[in-house]
Structure 1
Amino acid sequence: MAIRRDDLPKDAAELFKKWETMGTKFKVPKDNQEPMEKISTTTLGEQMRLAQEKVENLDPKSKRELLEAVKQKTPLYRIEMFSPEELMEAMKTIGEWALANGGAPQSPKEALEKRGWLFPYLMGYDQLATGRWNYWIDILEKNTLEGSGPIPQIEWSHDRNSIHQVRKMLFNCIDGVWHEGVGPNEFADWLLWGLGAADEPPKISDKVSEHWYRTFDLALVLLHPTDYLSGLLEDLSSKGHKQALGYFSTPMDVTTMMAEMVVGNHENREEMKTKTVNEPCVGCGAMLLPMSNYTLFGCGQDINPVAVKFCIIQMYWYAPWYAKNPFHK
């Protein structure tokens, strides 16, 4: 089901603001910044046309490299799984949420000036991938868990090739600009800013911003779900990146098994939804992710501040009820 403007309270902008005011069980700065000052008149179609023009204006070498990269990643998008109507609804959702946040950024520099610019894409891509954001927003609008139905299940990816390609993309995000003096902490700040979960824009150069803006691919992260950011810290640690040294995560297959053991044969899944899972060494959320198939309440802590930031980001990607939950007591 797509999020239609008629389904929202007055318009998408108000729901965006409503989401911004909710609390979280992880340490994220409270936001006092209004997410929208004016509505952009640029339509999604116009934005797509402008993007196509930018590709056509590239020099031959850059254009060739871009098209080759797109060719390599195209199979990972699994377009054949979706009908034209589903794809158009997802695009419509992205457009509506982008307008609610003042329009989509037209450049990497503008993304640094527009808090929450990545959030509309999260809404649209999740609509194709898991539908968890629609499920959670429906609960928020009704202000009750009653009648919400079963939690949309995520089947965590076991496709080694797809996972490898997505991990490679994430590693390139940081390793490609390591010489600029940035690392996983700055990358986390950039993602949190894009998701609307940080007060201040990341302190990075325009060059770094452009690299991340053009390299990071949210659609692939959502279409092949797993604990990517734990893997990213491990990949960086193996290369000697200081901010990631000494990080060792629990494999996703193991945490999935542990979650199944914790839940057991609990027959009352509605009752299970109200249970709270606490992870005192949460890391990037390896344990919370599989538990999100069973419960809507979770919290955690960790000594590693970069890991905590990555955990929050992955909750936005895969488990919005752990990112922000107004029903927490």
Structure 2
Amino acid sequence: MNNRTIILNSRPSGMPVASDFKLITEPMPPIGPGEIWLKTLYVSIDPYLRGKMSGTKSPRFELDAPLSSMIIAEVVESRNKDFSKGEYVKQYLDWKEYQVSNGEGLIKISSTLAPLSTYLGVLGITGLSAYFALLEIGKPQTGETLVVSGAAGAVGSIAGQIGKLMGCRVIGVAGTDEKVELLKTKFGFDDAINYKTTPDMKVAIAKACPNGVDIYFDNVGGAISDAVIANINKYGRIPVCGSISNYNDTTEQISPSLLPLVVYKFLTIQGFLIADYASKFPEGITRLSSWLNEGKITYSETILNGFDRLPEAFIGLFEGRNEGKMIVKV
């Protein structure tokens, strides 16, 4: 049986292009004792993969080797006593249609508790990133103002909704009028700004946040973050989840110096790795599941069908073609 794999063909320079990826066909190895045969069902497409492709994020992807990300897979054959045919699992796996595993690190999931794709989004790393970064670093309080950049994305849309549950006034920043409307209707944000059609973001943030900004959930970096931080209040908190606006830069971008603001406004600016909260994942998943089942939070997914569309989906992240979580269904 032949098996399709997507490998890194070249390291992206600037915006990723289709030729940075290559689809190859290779024989499927048989499974041995203690091993299982996995069929890929859903593949998580995430901005952080860009750094692993260029080699700036460790561990990097190697040229002519498969890319990988969080994947939902089905056990189609098992010679491992801990796994049975028909079970579903998630783990960081290669971009392959089928692969052999010894079962190490695989996490079993249930299709009856929630749709399988949600384990890559609202009940997966993106939902947990929103949950822990906002609650542990942002420390939202009733009556405060929260601004979320990249607000229509997988993390931002959940972070804003959690902020509302915590009693905050929530302002979102997104890149299309459609996403702005989505934030105010489906996700319940109090207001939203289209940064692409706004001539002066600093003024726009000040207008949307007449009492200033207490918490800034930063997914994008760059000029948007400069504009938000210029409006931040004393003792403001800034969880830094990502900086997608700079991921494809070929030259270093220098933002206005923040040090005077950090000093005189007593700001907390903190990046994080979601792996640091691994011991608390059960707590986060339980609470997110409860909110989801109670209708207190919702989610959006952009699902592309077809294994060969993985590169297209990844490039689409940087073109703003996703609402919520970007996923490929194989």
- For normalisation by structure 2, the TM-score amounts to 0.26
Which structure has more relative contact order (CA 8 Å, sep 6+)? It is: 1
Structure with bigger gyration radius:
2
User: Which of the pair is proportionally richer in strand?
Assistant: 2
User: Which of the pair is proportionally richer in helix?
Assistant: 1
- For normalisation by structure 1, the TM-score amounts to 0.26
